A and B are shown apart, each in its own frame.
Chain A
Amino acid sequence: MSDIVLKEVSKSFGAVSVLDKVSMHIQSGEFIVFLGPSGCGKSTLLRMIAGLEDVTEGEIHLGGRRVDQLPPNERGVAMVFQNYALYPHMTVRDNMSFGLQNVGTPKPEIIRRVDDAARMLEITQLLERKPAQLSGGQRQRVAIGRAIVRDPKAFLLDEPLSNLDAGLRVRTRLELAQLHNRIRATMIFVTHDQTEAMTLATRIVVMNNRRIEQIGTPMEIYSRPATRFVAGFVGSPAMSFLPVTAVSDVGGKAAFSFAGQTPVTTSVPFAGLPTSSLTFGIRAEAALVDPNGAIEGVADVVERLGERSLIYTRLADGSTLVAEDNGVSTVQAGDPVRIAIDGNAAMVFDDAGKAYHAAA
Chain B
Amino acid sequence: MSVADSRNPAVDASGTATAQRKLRAFDIGGLILTLITLVFAIIWAFPIYWGVITSLKPESQVISKTVELLPRTWTFDAYWEVFANTMIGRWYVNSLVTSLGVTAITLVTSALTAYALSQLRFPGRTVLWYLILASFMVPLTALIVNHFILMAQLSLINTWMGVILPQLIHPVVIIVYKNFFDSVPKEYREAAKMDSASEWRIFSRIYLPMNWGVTTALAIVTFIGAWNAFLWPFLAVSKPDMMNVAVGITQVNDAFGVHYARDLAAAILAALLVALLYLVFQRRVTQAIMLSAGVKG
Contact in complex: A79, B191 (CB < 8 Å): yes
* Cβ-defined contact, A89 with B194, below 8 A: no
Residues of chain A from 67 to 107 with CB closer than 8 A to chain B in the complex: 71-73, 77-79, 81-83, 85, 87-90, 98-99, 102-103
On whether A87 and B194 interact (CB within 8 A), knowing A81-B187, A102-B201, the answer reads no
The answer to whether B295 touches A99, judged by C-beta atoms less than 8 angstroms apart, is: no
Q: Is the CB of A52 within 8 A of B206?
A: no
A29-76, CB < 8 A from B? 50-52, 71-73
* C-alpha gap A305/B67 in the complex (Å): 88
Residues B187 and A72 in contact, CB atoms below 8 Å apart: no
Q: How many A-B residue pairs have CB under 8 A?
A: 60
Q: Which residues of B contact A88 (CB under 8 A)?
A: 210, 295
Q: What is the chain B residue whose CB lies nearest that of A73?
A: B196
Q: Which single member of B185, B195, B209, B295 contacts A73 (CB below 8 Å)?
A: B195
A42 nearest CB across to chain B (Å):
17
Give Cα A23 to B206, complex, Å. 36
Decide: A71 and B193 in contact? CB cutoff 8 A.
yes
Interface string of B180-224 (1 = CB under 8 A from A): 000001011011111111100100011001101000000000000
Q: How far is the CB of A100 from chain B (nearest CB, A)?
A: 9
Residues in B whose Cβ lies below 8 Å from that of A146: 191, 195
Can you name 9 A-B residue pairings with CB atoms under 8 Å? A73-B196, A81-B187, A81-B190, A85-B187, A85-B188, A98-B205, A102-B197, A102-B201, A103-B196
Contact, CB under 8 Å: B210 / A83: no
| Cβ contact within 8 Å between A89 and B196 | no
**CB-defined contacts of B201 to chain A, threshold 8 Å:** 102
A 126-153 contacts with B by CB, 8 A: 146, 150
- The number of chain B residues with a CB under 8 A from chain A is 19
CB closest residue in chain A, given B191: A85
Chain A residues, CB < 8 A from B193: 51-52, 71-73
B interface residues, Cβ below 8 angstroms from A: 185, 187-188, 190-198, 201, 205-206, 209-210, 212, 295
Given contacts A98-B205, A102-B201, contact A85 B196 (CB under 8 A): no
Tell whether, in the assembled complex, residue B210 and residue A72 are in contact, meaning their CB atoms are under 8 Å apart.
Answer: no
Q: Which residues of chain A have C-beta atoms less than 8 A from B205's C-beta?
A: 87, 98
B194 touches A98 (CB 8 A): no
B190 touches A85 (CB 8 A): yes
CB distance from A83 to the nearest CB of B (A): 6
> From residue B246, how far is it (CB to closest CB) to chain A in Å?
37
Complex alpha-carbon distance, A90 and B209, angstroms: 9
User: Which B residues lie within 8 Å of A103 (CB)?
Assistant: 196
CB neighbours of A99 from chain B (8 A)? 194-197
Decide: B191 and A89 in contact? CB cutoff 8 A: no
In the bound complex, residues from chain A placing their C-beta under 8 Å from that of B185 are 83, 85
Measured between beta carbons, the chain B residues less than 8 angstroms from A83 are: 185, 187
Listed from nearest, the 9 A-B pairs whose CB atoms lie closest are A99-B195, A73-B196, A85-B187, A85-B191, A102-B196, A89-B209, A81-B187, A72-B194, A102-B197
Residue of A nearest to B188 (CB): A85
Known: A83-B185, A87-B210, A89-B209. A102 touches B191 (CB 8 A): no
Determine the distance from Cα of A98 to Cα of B198 in the docked complex, in whole angstroms. 12
B205 to chain A minimum Cβ distance, whole angstroms, is 7
Bound-state CA distance A99–B196 (Å) is: 6
Q: Which residues of the partner chain A approach B192 to less than 8 Å between Cβ atoms?
A: 87, 98
A52 vs B210: C-alpha distance in the bound complex, in angstroms? 22
Additional A-B contact list (17), CB under 8 Å, known A89-B209, A99-B194: A52-B194, A71-B193, A73-B193, A77-B194, A81-B191, A82-B187, A85-B185, A85-B191, A87-B191, A87-B206, A88-B295, A89-B210, A98-B192, A99-B195, A99-B196, A102-B201, A150-B195
- List, in ascending order, chain B residues with CB within 8 A of A102's CB: 195-198, 201
| Docked pose: A50 CA to B194 CA in angstroms | 8
Give the complex CA separation of A103 and B192 in angstroms: 12
Give the Cβ gap from A254 to chain B, nearest Cβ, in Å.
51
B210 touches A73 (CB 8 A): no
B212 touches A78 (CB 8 A): no
CB distance from B215 to the nearest CB of A (A): 12
Contacts of A52 in B (CB 8 A): 190, 193-194
CA distance A79 to B205 in the complex (A): 19
**Complex Cα spacing A42 to B193, Å:** 21
Nearest residue in A to B190 (C-beta to C-beta)?
A: A52
Q: Which residues of B contact A77 (CB under 8 A)?
A: 194
Q: How far is it, in angstroms, between the C-alpha of A102 and the C-alpha of B196 when the chains are bound?
A: 6
In the complex, what's the smallest C-beta–C-beta distance from A70 to chain B, in angstroms? 12
A98 to B187, CA, bound (A): 15
* List of B residues within 8 angstroms of A73 by Cβ: 193-196
Q: Closest Cβ of chain A: how far from B233's Cβ, in Å?
A: 37
Q: For the complex, what is the distance from the CA of A278 to the CA of B272, rounded to whole Å?
A: 88
Contacts of B194 in A (CB 8 A): 50-52, 72-73, 77-79, 99
Query: Complex Cα distance A78/B194, Å?
Result: 7
